[in-house]
Amino acid sequence: MTTGEYVGSIADTQLPESLRATLPGRYYTDPAIFAAEQALILEEGWFCAVLAADIPTAGDFETVQVGRESVIVARGRTGDVHAYLNVCRHRGARLCTEEKGSVRRSFQCPYHAWTYGLDGKLISAPNIASMPDIDRREYGLNRVAVQEWLGYVWVCLADEPPSFADTVIADVTTRLGSPEAIVGYDVAGLQLGRRISYDVAANWKQIVENFMECYHCGTIHPELTEVLPEFADGLAAQYFVGHGAEFGEDVAGFTVDGSAGLARLPGVAAEQDRRYYAITVRPQVFINLVPDHVVLHRMFPLSADRTLVVCDWLYLPEVVASGADLDRSVELFHRVNQQDFEACERCQVSMDSRSYARGGVLVPSEHHIGEFHDWVRERVG
Ligand code: FES
Ligand code: FE
């Protein structure tokens, strides 16, 4: 009986010049590797958690899964945003089981009624008079770092968060070629027009890798390649620095049928008009810029083979208020999402196959994905 060579990984040195190796299949299925990614990537860096406008008034909150932790993000009494671990400091009960909601001025643990302010400080506990030496800040909820940018609340669970500028903003700047390029879109000034959530049966890295390349565009994205003809050639906007893919000649707007879009964002520069820019903010955000709206994806990796993707379509507030029909605008990227996530799921089911134990290959138009793999490996080994 002969056996194939199924183990080990494909080394770059064994491949011809035009090809590079991917990660081996187990990187997409092994719970131990996923646990390392949760601890060393998702909990160590900045994580885009909540659309700030979704918690507009004091007491509004959302709970989000960040790595292994449930985190409460809440609007405080003075309008500031706080985030803390969703764990009662008394005996560890989960404080909030709702995904979102509103409290009057505090969170009360349903077990023994310890009560915490919107800033996480311990306000009261039954029989607290019998514990005169308790330091209420010391037994408050464990706070996590918060930063607001692009209208979203980003949180970081690390004891010493990395510089937001050197990580999140640097990813955007590097992709667009300048820090000013995103300013004209005034993303924080836009308003949610539509949100669709996708429960994807694939590892989060499949979704990142897919977003980074356009080798698949000609095969699976008929509507997108109609609007952006250069995508049919397989080179994604992310293959180049500062490059926006140009709309086709007959295309009026970034819509499912190429018909006119909505009102153009006033700050979009002439050289950005009629172009599509795609940005990956590692590890879990994609930003898509077009002249009349912005599509922002937040990923919530839930297990090695399951990722929740929340996709927001953002428009000028007056466009949303006008009740304008957003369907053709939304439908284009919704189809792209469905096509992409189906492809990711199609790969995910093969990751445990002996055929992929040594990984696969990256063709030249995908070589930049290798940099993402290096980034993951540097963190989890
Ligand atoms: Fe929360 Fe006891 S576990 S009050
Ligand atoms: Fe795609």
- Mean pLDDT, the chain, as a whole number? 94
- How big is the chain by its Cα radius of gyration, in Å? 23
Pocket test for ligand 1, best of 91, 115, 139 (most atoms within 8 A of CB): 91
The answer to whether 381 and 36 are in contact (CB under 8 A) is yes
Does domain 47-156 fall under CATH 2.102.10.10? My reply is yes
pLDDT above 70: percentage of residues in the chain = 97
The 3-class SS string of 129-177 reads HHCCCCCCCCCCCCECEEEEECCEEEEECCCCCCCCHHHHHHHHHHHHC
Asked whether the predicted pLDDT for residue 238 surpasses 70, the reply is: no
352 to 12, 51, 358: CA distances (angstroms): 21, 36, 10
Mean pLDDT throughout 5-21? Answer: 74
Instruction: Identify whether the C-beta of residue 161 lies closer than 8 Å to the C-beta of residue 46.
Output: yes
Alpha carbons 13 and 239: distance in angstroms, whole number: 23
**pLDDT > 50? residue 6:** no
pLDDT tens digits for range 38-50: 999 999 999 999 9
| Percent of the chain at pLDDT exceeding 90 | 86
Mean pLDDT of 172-186: 93
What is the whole-number distance in angstroms between the Cα of residue 215 and the centre of ligand 2? 9
Token pair listed for 217 = 């565009």
In this prediction, residue 2 carries a pLDDT of 44
What is the number of the ligand 1 atom nearest to the C-alpha of 112? 4
Angle at 334 between CA 23 and CA 369, to 5 degrees: 20
pLDDT tens-digit series, residues 278-335: 999 999 999 999 999 999 999 999 999 999 999 999 999 999 999 999 999 999 999 9
Name the residue of 72, 84, 87, 90 whose CB sits within 8 Å of the most ligand 1 atoms, as the mutation to test its pocket. 90
Compute CA distances 289 → 95, 273, 359, whole Å.
Answer: 38, 10, 33
CA 105 to ligand 1 center in whole angstroms: 18
For the stretch 111-132, pLDDT in tens is 999 999 999 999 999 988 888 7
Mean pLDDT of 333-357: 97
pLDDT tens-place string over residues 129-169:
888 788 888 899 999 999 999 999 999 999 999 999 999 99
| Per-residue confidence (pLDDT) for residue 137, from 0 to 100 | 80
Q: Best mutation site among 89, 94, 114, 122 for ligand 1, i.e. most ligand atoms within 8 A of its Cβ? A: 114
Positions of CATH 3.90.380.10 in the chain: 178-350
List every span in the chain annotated with CATH 2.102.10.10: 47-156
Say if the ipTM goes beyond 0.90: yes
pLDDT at 89 over 90: yes
Q: What is the arithmetic mean of pLDDT over 210-235?
A: 93
Mean pLDDT confidence for 187-212:
98
Ligand 2 (ion): which residues have CB within 5 A?
Answer: 340
Helix axes 369-380, 204-212, angle to 10 degrees: 150
Q: How far is CA 270 from CA 184, 251, 275, 277, 314, in A?
A: 11, 17, 10, 14, 20
Q: Which residues pair with 60 in a beta bridge?
A: 102
φ, ψ of residue 117 in degrees (nearest 5): -75, 170
Q: Give me the pLDDT at residue 236, please.
A: 67
Output the pLDDT for position 237.
61
Ligand that lies nearest to the alpha carbon of residue 93, given by its number in the listed order: 1
Task: Tell me if 254 sits within 8 A of 332, measured CB to CB.
Answer: yes
Distance 58 CA to ligand 1 centre (A): 24
Return the H-helix or E-strand segment holding 288: strand 285-290
The backbone torsions φ and ψ at residue 54, rounded to the nearest 5 degrees and listed phi first, read -80, -15
How far is ligand 2, taken at its centre, from the CA of residue 171, in Å? Answer: 20
CA 136 / ligand 1 centre spacing (Å)? 14
**pTM score:** 0.95
pLDDT at 233: 86
Going by CA atoms, what residue is nearest to atom 2 of ligand 1? 112
- Nearest atom in ligand 1 to the alpha carbon of residue 114 is 4
- Split at pLDDT 50, 70, 90, the class of 215 is very high
Atom of ligand 1 minimally distant from the CA of 109? 1
**CA of 116, nearest ligand number:** 1
Which pair of tokens denotes residue 296?
């922002």
CATH superfamily of the 178-350 domain: Naphthalene 1,2-dioxygenase Alpha Subunit; Chain A, domain 1 (3.90.380.10)
How remote is the CA of residue 342 from the centroid of ligand 2, in Å? 10
Q: What is the arithmetic mean of pLDDT over 160-180?
A: 95
Atom of ligand 1 nearest to the CA of 88: 1
Which residues line the pocket of ligand 1, CB cutoff 6 A? 88, 90-91, 93, 109, 111-114
- Is-contact 110 131, C-beta < 8 A? no
